[in-house]
Chain A
Amino acid sequence: MIEGILIGLTTALTLQNILMVMLGCFFGTIIGMLPGLGPMTAIALMIPITYGFDPATGLILMAGVYYGAVFGGSTSSILLNAPGVPGTVATSFDGYPMAQQGKAGKALAIAAWSSFAGGTLSAIYLLFMAPSLSKVSLSFRSPDYFALMILGLTAIAAFSSKGQFLKAMMMVVLGLMLASVGQDSLSDITRFTFNNMNLTDGISFVLVVMATFAMSEALTIILKRNDPTSAAKQVSLTELGSIKINKEERTKMYKTIPRSSVIGFLIGVLPGAGATIASFLAYGMERNIVNDEEKEKFGKGSVNGLSAPETANNAACSGSFVPMLTLGIPGSGTTAVMLGALLGFGVQPGPRLYMTNPEIFWSIIMSMYIGMVILLILNLPLIPYIARILAVPKNYLIPLILFFSVTGIYVMSFNNFDIYLMIGIAVVATFLRLYDFPMPPLILAFVLGGLMEENLRRSLLLSNGSWEFLWDRTLTACILLTTILIVVWHIYKTMFKKTKG
């Protein structure tokens, strides 16, 4: 492992890669601050740029954007009570009241230190857990992978949209259907192309991500007359107050951070769960653990109440890399986008990644830590100024997002059919968003579609067409049983939940 860490450090600490982390953190912070534009949009916009770099550098840039976006989301939660990303909603419970009391600087500092500590601790957990899990996952066979992918897709559908399980499952199926367009990987038979040569190679992953996130988010902002930048104009440079944390507050954080980092990391590892659930769970757990006097302060500017979700959501971000790096199965929409980008680089994540491409595996882990340091030293003093940049009017922001989307697609294919296809998918996605159909399950399914078919093919061929492979191995059976329980539970809830009004 020491050798791996050194390889990672050597790769991550080159001037170019440090610059990429800095740029990623900066850009991610800006996008993350804008309510509605989350890490997935930020990473999606980065993909075409990363294709000019080697895989490690590209991934380092995207990891920086990811952390920056989560950090940016916390900032808008604290200063404006307008969470940029769902994972930072819990941060606003105590961060915003603290800011209202004239302690915005302190709240930002607590959030920054908690994020830093949560991210650092979880990077250490990842350091130890990922290689061991990779070794364990080497014993996984095709039926296990197939079952795991079904579990991952079901779990993200269950967690990504509260009370909208069936809608999310429809999005999963739609994602898999889109992935099935083009040549069959084994026989080269074309499917669903309707004799259109442009579809022979299938639909590009970047196109789907850009259409369902960047472009459709821009269209949704216009359609709903939202102005994500308006709130940023309220930020005052003079009212932030001191960023110093006193001894009593530090003592509280020392207790909160370790337990919240563990819960955040473990929730992050679970497929589909992610930063939102982790931050709410950590917040709830912290409120139950603290004494009655401190419990009273929750919701009114508690240090523990701010530190816990901030630690947990950053720890969950690192945790979500575990299934992606070790199994090749992303656990969240954001890591699905990163997996798609990795596949675009020709790198196959999975248990052998740390043997075949150790520089990528270890440099991602090391860059997480570097990203945390950079976020702390770069962003904390610069937050009020970065928030000012957000006062860019919507009239400029939206065309620029559209510009990066269409340019990103054009430079990848030099084909106007892809632009039309992207517009078509974006229009459908915008309409679906209006009715609360979640997009992350679609992306995860699109990324996993090919792998899932491949593993099902192998399993069925090995078992001579029999479906017994689903329960032949205990591991496969257990994973599928969990999946069935999730599906049955959600359908049961839908059937017996009273209709509002």
Chain B
Amino acid sequence: MNINTTKVISLLFFIFSAFYLYTAYQIQVFAFDENAPFNARTFPIYLGYAGLFFSGLKIILPDPNTIKVQHKTLEYKKTAILIIIAIIYGATILKVGYFLTTSLFLFSSYYFLGERRWVLMFLLSFPFVAAFMYLLHGVLDIYLRDPFLQSIGVMG
């Protein structure tokens, strides 16, 4: 039997729905709510069954619009690098601060996407983030914690 990727995704969704349903049944409710017509687990339980129903149908019914993705033509490497850069951004922003991490995030993203015009890359990262930060912090009054700028005395 030839099973296409859409069916595999549907199967994964079916398993996910089963897990969701199991977890929904485990939701602790107050004793007086246990037999109430509606409690905190009622809606999630229906959702779990709905997930099983629709993904189950998708698995068993014929798929007239099969989607075929040409994986060889996809740019996995650059996409993965961008995702890793974003994860590193998330890991460092609280410790280093908004300005430096965001600027480096932009600069490295330009670089890994193939850009080599250094001046433009610099202008569209460090000064751009500084201007955006001023807009948020100075104009819109949104506080941005920045240990790096505080350590060099730029921010109070």
Chain A interface residues toward B at CB < 8 A = 49, 52, 163-164, 166-167, 169-170, 173-174, 176-177, 180, 184, 186-187, 189, 191-192, 219, 222-225, 393-396, 398-400, 402-403, 406-407, 410-411, 414, 416, 419-420, 423, 427, 430, 432, 434-437, 452-453, 456-457, 460-461, 463-465, 491, 494-495, 497-500
Contacts and interface: CB of A to CB of B under 8 A. Distances in A.
Contact of A163 (B9, B64, B74, B114): B64
A420 B89 CA distance: 10
Given A456-B42, A499-B64, 8 more contacts: A170-B58, A222-B82, A223-B76, A396-B124, A399-B105, A406-B90, A406-B102, A436-B67
B83 A423 contact: yes
B136 A411 contact: yes
A52 B115 contact: no
A219 B144 contact: no
Contacts of B98: 410
A457 B43 CA distance: 8
B138 to A, nearest CB: 12
A161 to B, nearest CB: 9
B54 A170 contact: yes
B106 A403 contact: yes
A166 B14 CA distance: 13
B132 to A, nearest CB: 7
B: interface residue count bin: 35 or more
Contacts of B82: 219, 222, 398, 402
Given A163-B64, A435-B5, A460-B37, A223 B47 contact: no
B106 A399 contact: yes
Interface in B62-93: 62-67, 69, 73-76, 78-79, 82-83, 86-87, 89-91, 93
Nearest to A157: B54
A225 B72 CA distance: 12
A342 B79 CA distance: 33
Contact of A500 (B37, B41, B65, B91): B65
A412 B66 CA distance: 40
Interface string B110-125: 1001110000100010
A189 B32 CA distance: 13
Interface of B: 5-6, 9-10, 13, 17, 20, 23-24, 27-30, 33, 36-44, 47, 50-51, 54-55, 57-58, 61-67, 69, 73-76, 78-79, 82-83, 86-87, 89-91, 93-94, 98, 102, 105-106, 109-110, 113-115, 120, 124, 132, 136, 140-142, 144-145
Interface centre among B10, B83, B106 (most CB of A within 10 A): B83
Contacts of B79: 219, 222-223, 430
Nearest to B140: A52
B87 A173 contact: no
5 contacts: A170-B51, A177-B20, A219-B83, A223-B74, A414-B145
A178 to B, nearest CB: 10
A416 B57 contact: no
Contacts of B10: 170
A420 B86 CA distance: 8
Given A225-B73, A411-B144, A173 B51 contact: yes
A422 to B, nearest CB: 8
B43 A180 contact: yes
B89 A419 contact: yes
Contacts of B69: 434-435
Given A394-B113, A398-B113, A403 B102 contact: yes
Given A166-B58, A461-B37, A222 B47 contact: no
Contact of A191 (B38, B40, B144): B40
B107 to A, nearest CB: 9
Given A173-B54, A177-B20, A224 B65 contact: no
Given A166-B54, A191-B27, A419 B86 contact: yes
Contacts of A437: 9
Nearest to B54: A169
Nearest to A181: B44
A474 B1 CA distance: 47
A499 B51 contact: no
B39 A187 contact: yes
Contacts of A164: 65
